Amino acid sequence: MIVILLSFMMKAQRHEIGYQFGMSNLIGDIGNTSYVLQHPIYHKFEKRRLSWYAGILYRMNFNPYQTLRFNIGVSHVEFDDSYAKENYRRFRKLLGSNTIYESDVIFEYNLFPVNDEQKSLLSPYIFGGIGGMITNIMQATINHDFNRDINGNIINGGPTSPADFVTNETYYGTQQITMSIPFGVGLKYKFNYNWALFGEFMFRPTFSDALDYSTISDKNIKVIYNKDILDPSGKKSLLQTDPYLNVAKQREADFIKNREVGNINSKDWINSITIGISYSFGRPPCYCEQ
Tens digit of each residue's pLDDT (9 = 90 or more) over 210-240: 999 999 888 889 999 988 888 888 889 888 8
SS3 of 66-80: the string is: EEEEEEEEEEEEEEE
Q: How would residue 196 be classed by pLDDT, with cut points 50, 70 and 90?
A: very high
How far, in Å, are 84, 131, 289 from residue 16 at the CA level? 39, 20, 20
C-alpha radius of gyration, the chain, whole number: 27
**pLDDT tens sequence across 261-270:** 888 888 999 9
Residue type, 97: S
What SS3 state is found at 217? Answer: coil
- pLDDT, one tens digit per residue, over 246-263 is 989 999 999 988 888 888
Partners of 59 in the β-ladder: 16, 69
The neighbour count for residue 54, using CB atoms within 10 Å, is: 14
Average pLDDT over residues 103-112: 97
- The amino acid sitting at 230 is L
Amino acid 2: pLDDT = 41
Lowest pLDDT segment from 140-154, 158-172, 175-189, 240-254 = 158-172
- Mean pLDDT over all residues of the chain? 85
Alpha helix stretches (DSSP H) within the chain: 2-10, 87-92, 244-259
- How much is the pTM? 0.82
Q: What is the pLDDT of residues 50-69, one digit of tens each?
A: 789 999 999 999 999 999 99
Domains, the chain, with CATH or none:
2-281 (2.40.160.20)
